[in-house]
């Protein structure tokens, strides 16, 4: 007998709502978090006005730019870390 926490695919999840299930050729499977979020977003889009959609688009573009900037900052920090040893080494002596 299977535990209530495992499906026939042996993944551990708990389905609380029928809306969190999706049809799969092997039977019903739990939706991913991304699928649930996209459905919520589609429902909000159907109810939204044009101004709401414009503000949402601007916010998402801003969030993308923030993440891009964070990646750029991490790249610069890694570069600085990889060259930090040079600051603690004496310059070579020339005769």
**Structural domain for 32, as ranges:** 1-47
Whether residue 95 lies inside any domain: the answer is no
Give the DSSP per-residue string, 20-89: GEEEETTEEEEPPHHHHHHHHHHHHHHH--HHHHHHHHHHHHHHHHHHHHHHHHHHHHHHHHHTGGGGGS
Domains in the chain: how many in total?
2
- 21 has a pLDDT exceeding 90: no
Q: Is the pLDDT of residue 41 over 70?
A: yes
Output the pLDDT for position 47.
94
55 and 42 inside one domain: no
Classify residue 91: in a domain, yes or no: no
Return the higher-pLDDT residue of 71 and 17.
Answer: 71
Q: Say if CB 13 and CB 36 are below 8 A apart.
A: no
Is 12 a residue whose pLDDT tops 60?
A: no
pLDDT in tens, 49-87: 999 999 999 999 999 988 888 888 888 888 888 887 777
The answer to whether residues 2 and 43 belong to one domain is: yes
């Amino acid at each position: 007998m299977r535990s209530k926490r495992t499906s026939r695919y042996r993944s551990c999840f708990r389905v609380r709502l029928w809306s969190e299930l999706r049809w799969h050729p092997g039977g019903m499977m739990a939706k991913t978090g991304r699928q649930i979020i996209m459905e919520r977003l589609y429902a909000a889009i159907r109810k939204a006005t044009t101004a709401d959609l414009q503000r949402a688009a601007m916010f998402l573009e801003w969030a993308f730019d923030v993440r891009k900037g964070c990646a750029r900052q991490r790249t610069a920090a890694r570069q600085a870390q990889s060259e930090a040893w040079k600051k603690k080494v004496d310059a070579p002596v020339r005769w």
